[in-house]
Amino acid sequence: MFKIDEVLWCEFPWLDLLNSDWHDHRGSHPSVDRLEIALWRRHFFSRWRYTIRGIPHKKLLISLYELRTILRSIAEKYAQHIKPSAADWHHINRYLVRAPYIRRIKTIRTKPNLFYVPRTQKLDALLGDIAGSFAETIVQGDPDRIKICQNKNCRWVFNDHSKNKSRKWCDDTCGNLMKIHRYRKKGR
């Protein structure tokens, strides 16, 4: 059973959305799509101050799944040190134009830059804001810090805040678990 106090919240809405596709880091439990859990969704919308009243439930979920898929694809590219394509940015821009203000990514001398232009609507604002938090992370932060836990059972997406960008696991639990697995494998 899912308990809200078991949730490790992330520093950006886009990370929370990506990690709503939860995988047991030990590999002993089935994956859980937390978007399917009403309690998780309520806490997610509340935490990021998204108003969803009046948005048809099915349309909201479909839109969140689509955005999560796009963001995951780009995050995986960054985690593998692959530059996203113009088509990837086109997908993000389709969500950014839906925000209360339009944010556009334009590449200037191979570096993405973020531009703001004013706008609005509930579902559009929610999706645009999540995509915007991703765009801001890419443009204002260091995209090389976007990582995916190297525990194949976990798949948690995180922002690596270590000095030398060398973190491999989302947290110490996965790191210790992987070290134990390596130790046991060596001993055989």
Task: Tell me how far apart the alpha carbons of residues 24 and 45 are, in angstroms, rounded to a whole number.
Answer: 23
pLDDT of residue 109: 83
Q: Which fold has domain 7-179?
A: Jann2411-like fold (1.10.3300)
pLDDT one-digit tens code per residue, 35-63: 999 999 999 998 998 889 889 999 999 99
Answer whether residue 5 shows pLDDT above 80. Answer: no
pLDDT one-digit tens code per residue, 100-116: 777 788 888 888 888 76
Write out the two tokens for 6. 């078991």
Greater model confidence, 15 or 173: 15
Task: Tell me how far apart the alpha carbons of residues 140 and 134 are, in angstroms, rounded to a whole number.
Answer: 10
Answer whether residue 117 shows pLDDT above 70. Answer: no
Q: Is the pTM of this model over 0.75?
A: yes
**For residues 169-176, average pLDDT:** 78
State the amino acid at position 90 in one-letter form. Answer: H
